Structure 1
Amino acid sequence: MSKLSPEMCTVPVDGEYDPTVMRFLHIRTHLRAELATGKYPYRVDITWPYDGDEKGLPDPETADAMKGFRERVIDEALERDKLALLAYEVVGEDRCLWCIYTRNIPAFQEMLNEASSELPDYPLEIYAEEDREGLAFGEVEPMIAAE
């Protein structure tokens, strides 16, 4: 799990687009206090679409590649020196989404490019916006109690 906070829990949740499909949410349990400091005003969503099995989950090779990306880029590079904090990860419905809060978008982008420069070209989609109140995290935070 995450280097800065090993306190992440996994919660099965219904599919967002297809309620008959299960997704898995890996969420940081103690992020609210960090967000309340105002040090992480920006949210970056990194999405990795994939062709999933009949349940919408990745094949083992893709799952391993996603795990490697997360460990090398998110856990080891972006969370180093607390440039960014992984809020949650959702896997299922043919995509993996990492929701990350950061202090600085340009520094985040530079570190992301540097950390992934020697990796294969993955089909990543990246979206960033200001989210000073942690609204995206707030949407999934109640699910911690379901764990």
Structure 2
Amino acid sequence: MQLSDEWFTVLSQDDNERLIYVNGRINLDKARKSGKYNIRIELTLPYKGDSSGMPSKEDAILIEQIHQALVPLIEQRGCGILTGNHIGCDHKYWVFYVKDEKIFQEKLNEALNDFELLPLEIECDYDPEWEEYLDMLSMRIKDSQNR
């Protein structure tokens, strides 16, 4: 399945009004409606941010290295689809919809094998309707209406 590489970015805020950059992938209807990717997995990497909650240069480099190791391995093997990635408030988030959480975990371990132990937090939910994804997409619509 050919995946879209089209993204949008909107700004959001946490409860303390610190910025979060929300990056969402668009044009994934074929994958969403296929019924193959019913499990939503969110990986969170905490970091020590600056006063605005953004990563240091060193943390930004690490985040990019993780991204480059992880995303191609997950997507090229058909294991899952990165639907969003967000940064801010001292955290980096990657959001995937996957076929099987055990296979995803194996690929995650394979992708991160060369890294030192990371303080990743993993949340897994059954979301066959992609409700969380559609909520994220609604941020794009609201943002475009506010311009």
Q: Do the aligned partners of residues 16 and 32 (structure 1) sit closer, same or farther apart at CA in structure 2, a change above 3 Å counting?
A: farther
Equivalent position of 2:114 in the other structure: 118
CA distance in 2, matches of 1:86, 1:114: 17
Scaled by the length of structure 1, the TM-score of the pair is: 0.89
CA distance in 2, matches of 1:127, 1:46: 7
Contact map agreement 2:3 2:28 (CA 8 A) in 1: no
Q: Is 1:7 equivalent to 2:6 in the alignment? A: yes
- The aligned amino acid for 1:47 is T
Alpha-carbon RMSD across the aligned residues, in angstroms, is: 1.6
Number of aligned residue pairs: give it: 142
* 1:83 Cα deviation after fit: 1.1
1:22 to 19, 23, 45: 19
CA distance in 2, matches of 1:52, 1:139: 26
CA distance in 1, matches of 2:119, 2:15: 20
4+ long deviations beyond 6 Å: none
Contact map agreement 1:29 1:144 (CA 8 A) in 2: no
CA distance in 1, matches of 2:123, 2:64: 20
* 1:37 Cα deviation after fit: 1.4
Equivalent position of 1:56 in the other structure: 53
* 1:31 Cα deviation after fit: 2.1
CA distance in 2, matches of 1:129, 1:93: 23
Equivalent position of 1:31 in the other structure: 28
CA distance in 2, matches of 1:90, 1:52: 14
1:76-117 CA-to-partner distances (Å, cap 9, x unmatched) read 211113211011111001111111100111111111111111
- The aligned amino acid for 1:16 is D
1:104 to 100, 107, 111: 100
**% of aligned pairs identical?**
28
Structure 2, unpaired ranges of 5+: none
